[in-house]
Amino acid sequence: MTDLQLRTVALTHEESTEVDDLLRTLADVPVDSTVALLHRTRLAAQELPLRIRTELTGMRLYDSPRALVVTGFGIDDDRIGPTPVARPAPTPERTRNQELLLLLHAALLGEAFGWATQQNGRLVHDVLPVPGEETEQMGSSSKAELLWHTEDAFHPLRCDYVGLLCLRNHQRAVTTLGWPDLSRLTPEDRATLLEPRYLIRPDTSHTPEQNASDTRSAERFAVIAEMDDTPEHVAVLFGDPEDPYLRIDPAYMSPAPGDAAARRAYDTITTLIEDALQYVALDAGSLLLVDNYQAVHGRKPFAAAYDGRDRWLKRVNITRDLRRSRSARQSATSLLV
């Protein structure tokens, strides 16, 4: 790909073999939400092929590229088994290596973390179509387009990066990626987007209904409910006014009622994103890493068959600074916000 903000790196056979050999050294590591897991994966990440380490170090240090696709990881289609029809996958051991693979790459960008209010508090999430949720604005939809968005845009502790590893995509479902050319904003619209004139609510994946009853924390879900009942006023752009970061989710975000200037600026930036959208159909063994402060991602509709062959991704949230969320985690060694 020629776009400097979206890079693709194809692993050689030798590099792919290096990764497989590295995963075998982690055969005794349990995939759960423990700092011991991060300790092992962080050490092992330093043994990933040099080209991978170079790309991800550059992504972290230079804010570029905004998205990176790495292809060529081996996926044993028989080993991972049928695509589940519910989250999380009922037999996580089958995809243990794929979850470790995500965590190894996460360790080069920061620290992996999970949400106490999403996917039963698991560290690595399953992204797959779920019967009855075909038209929802969640990763479990299929018939409806998953609108492009900043991951967990509603939350102040949202991830810096999101990692998506494709296990299966026979339908060739398309992932959307985009970022606006902010130089096309008028000074007035830029100034407006930098002000907290937009309301944002939690997405529905953080509701009790989307989590098993034995993992529901009344206190945590009460906080989510309050965010929904009394949405926060936030800015779309933040950070350096001359080179700002982005926070946007059209499905759950809107200008404050009656604020015509905020509406005009919002419509302008959404158009800029739409105009520059790029489309990537991930293949099995492709890893997509997205800078969640600079890029949005989504997915085009596809036809789910629920026959065990549907599209299936693994997802991980990555923060550059785990301490930033200490007040929202039960302990310094907890990885759940």
Q: Residues comprising the binding site for 2-oxoglutarate?
A: 175, 311, 315
Structure tokens at 44: 């092992």
Q: Give the HSE-up count for residue 322: Cα atoms under 13 Å, Cβ half-sphere.
A: 21
Beta strands (DSSP E) in 73-173 are 111-113, 125-127, 146-149, 161-168
Q: Are 139 and 282 in contact (CB under 8 A)?
A: no
Q: Are 281 and 174 in contact (CB under 8 A)?
A: yes
Residues 6+ apart with CB under 8 A from 5: 64, 65, 66, 67, 179, 295
Structure tokens at 99: 């979850």
Q: Are 110 and 125 in contact (CB under 8 A)?
A: no
Rounded CA gap, 272 and 237, in Å?
14
Q: Give the HSE-up count for residue 151: Cα atoms under 13 Å, Cβ half-sphere.
A: 27
Q: Are 158 and 151 in contact (CB under 8 A)?
A: yes
Rounded CA gap, 275 and 325, in Å?
35
Q: List, as residue ranges, the binding site.
A: 149, 151, 175, 297, 311, 315
Cis status, amide bond into 88, omega within 30 of 0? yes
Q: List, as residue ranges, the binding site for Fe cation.
A: 149, 151, 297
